[in-house]
Structures are given as C-alpha cells and as structure tokens.
Chain A
Amino acid sequence: MDLARTTAAASREARAGTQNTARVPRPEQAIDARRRAAASKVAAVEKAIKALGRTGAPLTRMVVARLAGVSRSFTYENDVANRMITAAQAMSQVRADDRIETRTAHQEASWRERALNAVDEIATLVGSLPPSVGSSVTYWDNCESRMAPGLNRIGTVFAGKTSSFFPSGTSFYVNETNSNGDWTAHGRTSRV
C-alpha cells in the first residue's frame, strides 16, 4: 500500500516536473535570428530573380539558388521564395509565348501585305501597258512541265504572262532544258 502511494506521488512529481520544463522561456533571440536569416535569404532570392530576368537566362531553381547563395530546398520550403520563383517562371513563360505569337503574327501580316501589294502591282502594271507594246504570249498555256497539269493559276493570280519583248504577231519557239527533259513550245504573240 505504501509502495503504491509512493509510486503515485513519484509519478505526480514527474508530471509536475514535465510541466516545469515547459515553462522555460522561448529562445526569442534564436527565433529572431532565424527569422532574419530567412528574410535575408528571401531578399537574395529576389535579387537573383531580378538579375536573371534582365539577363534573359533560363530561370531555374538551381540557378536562382546558386546565385542567391541558398540551398535549393529553401526555395521550395520557404513560402515567399517559392511563390516568387513560381510567379517569375510563369511570367517569363508568358513573355516567351507572347513574343513568339507576336512575331508570328507580324511575319504573317508582312507576307500577306506583300502578297496583296504584289497582286495590286501586277494589276497596275498590266493596266498601264500601252496597247501597242503589250502583247500576251500564248505559250504559257503549254507550260505544263513546270506546273501541275491543267493548272494555270498560282494562288489568286492568273498566270498569264505579258511580255514586251516580242512584237505582236511574231512566231517564236521556246527551248528549255531542265531536269524534266527538253521542252520546246511554239507560240505566237497576239494583240492584247
């Protein structure tokens, strides 16, 4: 009985002892130092991200961590640093996509404009030729070795050739030697 009472008292004391150790003051100085260290690391990460962004170098966690002098696990475990890196990566990705799309659009617009300008130019030139000089050459219709058979249109432009080298009403032969073999056509110019 005595033994049981003694054991119970001992266990009570032990519990009280545990509670006493819990009353030890928190290591405020250590906590502050740790917070400051984390803040300085986050600042270093921010600087590294900015520098990388200006450079145009690939923005990876490894590079950011090395530049900032922090461990790579820090860039995952610290919420602020993690969010900053993720946002910067997303931003650079968006910027890259944007660049590509914009460039493609510019190029397409440029080609479209040039094609339209060329069509207008052809129409203007054909219209501006005086009737005495302008004569259409008829051999173009026979020129199937260079185009798909039966096709005499390229895009939207009619592939009629206008030439001023031959006076109207002249017969001529065109000889051409190419990889498809020799090709000869007889033509006659006529008035437009």
Chain B
Amino acid sequence: MLTGADYGYWKRQEQRWATLAEGAPDETARDYIYGAFEKSSQALAGLEKALLALGLLDQAKELDLRSPHQDFFDPIWRQGWRAGDLVDIGSGKEASENHEPLTNGPGKDNGSRES
C-alpha cells in the first residue's frame, strides 16, 4: 500500500537509483539497475497520476515528514493505494493512444469515442 505521504520518500529513492544507474561503469550495469527499480518507478508514476487526479500532488510534495504535527485523517495519509493498482495506472498508456495506425482512408479519424 502506498499513500500520498509515501510519495516524497519514494521519489527520492527513484532519483537515487537513477543517479546510481547513470554512474554505472557500463551499459549492462546501467540497464540492470534501471530494470531493478522499474516496477517501483511504474508504481510511483501511478501514484503521481492518482494524486494529480485527486488534486493532492502538491500537498504530497510539500508534506514534511519530520514535523511531529500530522493530521493522520487527511486523505494524504488515509487513502492507501495498492501497489498493483498503481503499476496498472502508471504503466498503462493513455487509452486513447492504444489503437494502431490505420491504412485505409475513411477510418483515419478513429475517434476517441464510441457510443
């Protein structure tokens, strides 16, 4: 489970791993490090997307975990997301980009809706 309060910590972790990967001696090591953190990155991207949708992202970025005064009933703390759901949300492409390009003419505007 991840909450908005976890966002800052895991974002720093992601940056740490990226720094580590970029400082790797060769391509294999670099890819390995990025691969090791890939799932977490996807979950983090999903968390970011979810917080943005709920309008909580700014609050999550500004949250000071060192402060002893925390409102644990705040949605930032209370609403927990499953990591699996977040990976789905984070790794999924935009649904409107999911279709392959068409070859025949009239279907070019294979629009964003079907009702």
Partner-B contacts on A (CB < 8 A)? 27, 29-31, 33-38, 40-41, 44, 47-48, 50-51, 54-58, 62-63, 66-71, 73-74, 77-79
A51 to chain B minimum Cβ distance, whole angstroms, is 4
Count: A-B pairs, CB below 8 Å: 102
A47-B88, A50-B85, A70-B95 given; A57·B75 CB < 8 A: yes
| Identity of the chain A residue whose Cβ is nearest the Cβ of B106 in the assembled complex | A27
The one of B89, B96, B103, B114 in contact with A67, judged by C-beta atoms closer than 8 angstroms, is B89
Q: Which residues of B contact A54 (CB under 8 A)?
A: 81-82, 85
The 10 closest A-B pairs by CB, nearest first: A30-B107, A66-B53, A38-B114, A51-B85, A41-B95, A77-B115, A69-B94, A37-B99, A27-B107, A27-B106
Give CA–CA (A40, B97) in the complex, Å: 10
| Identity of the chain A residue whose Cβ is nearest the Cβ of B84 in the assembled complex | A51
* B67 at the binding interface (Cβ < 8 Å): no
Partner-A contacts on B (CB < 8 A)? 49-50, 52-54, 75, 78-82, 85-86, 88-89, 92-96, 98-100, 102-108, 110-115
Give CA–CA (A66, B55) in the complex, Å: 11
- Contact A35 B96, beta carbon cutoff 8 Å: no
Q: Which residues of B contact A30 (CB under 8 A)?
A: 102, 104, 106-108, 110
